[in-house]
Amino acid sequence: MEEITVNLHNHSDISDGTGNYYEIAQAGLNAKIDVLIITDHNVVVRGKDSYYYREGNKLLLLIGEEINDPIGVPGNHLIILNSSREYASAASDPQTVIDSVNKEGGITILAHPFENAKKQLHMKSFPWSDWSAHDFSGLEIYNFMSQFKCGVTNFFSLPGHYLRPINFQMGADENTLAKWDELLSMGYRVSGFAGSDSHRFQKKVGPKTFKIFDYELTCRALNNHVYIPKPLVGDVEEDKKVIYAALRNGCFFVGADMITSTAGFSFRADTETGIYYSGARIPIGNSATLKIRIPEKSICRLISNGKVYKQWESVQSVPITITEPGYYRVECYLPYKNKLRGWIYSNPIYFFKG
Ligand SMILES: [Zn+2]
Ligand SMILES: [Zn+2]
């Protein structure tokens, strides 16, 4: 399997971001990621999926959408990928949208579902409230800008967060992780996604303009590491199909690359019938061995059915034999600036009684 880096959830100047597609693609090339997905608010742009090249590197820019109902309850932001239709006008009815996108083979992700920005700074929160919704592809378990908004406690802490945003990223949102485990325990197949929610907001204070934050910074900070069967070939349509299939199937992990690169992490199951990766749904048979490779020593947890199944530290590779059906996913934590940070979140491997 090939591992590629996909940065998701970026806003351009077509909605409320400040960079155009070319500038955002250059930021992605600087950060040396493979794929950057733009999801502007309530607008879908056709025919702009494209490769950008520079100095032997290539970046695939893909265009999705983030919809919400502008006159209804604030929140319920839904990211839609790999769809050929415009759904903004139907945003007040998320379930109809989710069902329709599923029929197309597209992807739906509940964006920043438990966002809770600090009120003191008058930053707005846009959580998900329609929990009657089901059959969506995933939850945005880690949103870079939400971590920023939720971490700034008061006006005086703002400069520190602005100057050193990485220092204040603690990991995936705890409430979202709990909801994810709840849904997985109920038998839903739901993937965990990372989103930058990058806008490059610009604030003018006197003669100085502050950028919150450069697209390049968020491209380096937090990514989806996606497994594909063979390297990208450089053909937009062909590569798009492979990337969206892997994202839809949950064949990826979330990596907080800002701490140190998460590339090289691997989580797989060896069974009598073959080798399987995140997102696979497989019969348990007599037994299965989970093999986890971690790029650096860290505190790791194997989570199953809402509980920590096993925890270990300072080991790079661990085989774990399992015999019980259920979902299994991995979380890794690393100390950074004297605090433990969420570093890697795998998507689950699902076992059922064969
Ligand atoms: Zn949003
Ligand atoms: Zn957004």
Q: What totals of helices (H) and strands (E) does the chain contain, helices first?
A: 7, 22
**For residue 199, which ligand has an atom nearest its CA?**
2
202 and 273 housed in the same domain: no
Q: Which domain holds residue 174?
A: 2-255
- Torsion on CA atoms 171, 74, 98, 349, rounded to nearest 10: 10
Output the pLDDT for position 123: 82
Question: How far apart are the CA of 96 and the centre of ligand 2, in A?
Answer: 21
Question: How far apart are the CA of 41 and the centre of ligand 2, in A?
Answer: 7
61 and 126 housed in the same domain: yes
Output the pLDDT for position 72: 85
Question: How far apart are the CA of 339 and the centre of ligand 2, in A?
Answer: 28
Question: How far apart are the CA of 198 and the centre of ligand 2, in A?
Answer: 7
340 and 244 housed in the same domain: no
Considering the domain boundaries, does residue 116 fall inside one?
yes
Considering the domain boundaries, does residue 78 fall inside one?
yes
Q: How many separate domains does the chain show?
A: 2
Question: How far apart are the CA of 210 and the centre of ligand 2, in A?
Answer: 20
Question: How far apart are the CA of 197 and the centre of ligand 2, in A?
Answer: 5
* Count of C-beta atoms within a 10 Å radius of residue 132: 7
Instruction: Identify the CA nearest to 248 among candidates 60, 61, 105, 66.
Output: 105
Considering the domain boundaries, does residue 260 fall inside one?
no
CATH number at residue 240: 3.20.20.140
Output the pLDDT for position 351: 95
Final residue of a structural domain among 233, 255, 277 = 255
17 and 76 housed in the same domain: yes
- Mean pLDDT, 10 residues at a time, the chain of 354 residues: 97 96 98 98 95 96 97 94 95 97 98 88 88 98 93 77 86 98 97 97 85 94 97 98 98 96 95 94 88 94 96 85 95 94 98 87
**For residue 78, which ligand has an atom nearest its CA?**
1
**Cα dist. 301→81, 96, 194, 330 in Å?**
30, 36, 19, 6
143-177 pLDDT, tens digit per residue, is 999 998 888 777 777 778 888 888 889 999 999 99
Residue position matching structure tokens 């795998």: 346
Output the pLDDT for position 102: 98
By residue count, the chain amounts to 354
**Cα dist. 332→67, 120, 292, 306, 340 in Å?**
32, 32, 11, 16, 10
The rounded distance, in Å, linking the Cα atoms of 274 and 41 is 42
Question: How far apart are the CA of 111 and the centre of ligand 1, in A?
Answer: 6
208 and 278 housed in the same domain: no
Question: How far apart are the CA of 139 and the centre of ligand 1, in A?
Answer: 12
DSSP structural state of residue 347: P
Output the pLDDT for position 190: 98
- The HSE-up count of residue 10 (CA atoms within 13 Å, CB side) is 31
Question: How far apart are the CA of 79 and the centre of ligand 1, in A?
Answer: 8
Question: How far apart are the CA of 230 and the centre of ligand 2, in A?
Answer: 30
247 and 193 housed in the same domain: yes
Q: Which residues contact 229 (CB under 8 A, 6 or more apart)?
A: 1, 2, 242
Final residue of a structural domain among 255, 283, 310 = 255
Considering the domain boundaries, does residue 153 fall inside one?
yes
283 and 232 housed in the same domain: no
244 and 283 housed in the same domain: no
Output the pLDDT for position 149: 86
Question: How far apart are the CA of 68 and the centre of ligand 1, in A?
Answer: 8
Considering the domain boundaries, does residue 146 fall inside one?
yes
pTM: 0.96
199 and 130 housed in the same domain: yes
Instruction: Identify the CA nearest to 213 among candidates 222, 197, 196, 201.
Output: 201
Is residue 342 within 8 Å of 172, Cβ to Cβ?
Answer: yes
Considering the domain boundaries, does residue 261 fall inside one?
no
**Cα dist. 205→169, 190, 208, 209 in Å?**
25, 43, 5, 6
CATH number at residue 272: 2.60.40.10
229 and 306 housed in the same domain: no
Considering the domain boundaries, does residue 303 fall inside one?
yes
**For residue 91, which ligand has an atom nearest its CA?**
1
Residue position matching structure tokens 């903004």: 88
Question: How far apart are the CA of 224 and the centre of ligand 1, in A?
Answer: 18
Considering the domain boundaries, does residue 126 fall inside one?
yes
77-118 pLDDT, tens digit per residue, is 999 999 999 999 999 999 999 999 999 999 999 999 999 987
Final residue of a structural domain among 255, 281, 304 = 255
227 and 338 housed in the same domain: no
217 and 282 housed in the same domain: no
